[in-house]
Amino acid sequence: MKPSLSSQLRPPSVLFDTEHGRQRLVTVALRLAEGTPMMPQPYERMLLQFVRGSLTLDEVIARLEVREHE
pTM score: 0.52
Q: What is the residue range of 48's domain?
A: 13-68
Residue 3 lies in a domain: no
Rg of the chain over Cα atoms, rounded to whole angstroms, equals 16
Sign of torsion over alpha carbons 19, 21, 25, 30: positive
Give the pLDDT confidence score for residue 36 in this predicted structure.
Answer: 92
Give the pLDDT confidence score for residue 30 in this predicted structure.
Answer: 85
Residue 5 lies in a domain: no
Give the pLDDT confidence score for residue 9 in this predicted structure.
Answer: 57
- Measured CA to CA, the distance from residue 28 to residue 50 in angstroms comes to 16
Please determine, for residue 1, whether its predicted confidence score (pLDDT) is greater than 60.
no
Q: pLDDT tens digits, residue range 17-60?
A: 777 777 788 788 888 989 999 888 887 888 888 877 888 889 88
Number of separate domains in the chain: 1
Question: For residues 31 and 49, is the Cβ–Cβ distance under 8 A?
Answer: no
Residue 18, SS3? coil
Q: Would you give the DSSP letter of residue 56? A: -
Residue 1 lies in a domain: no
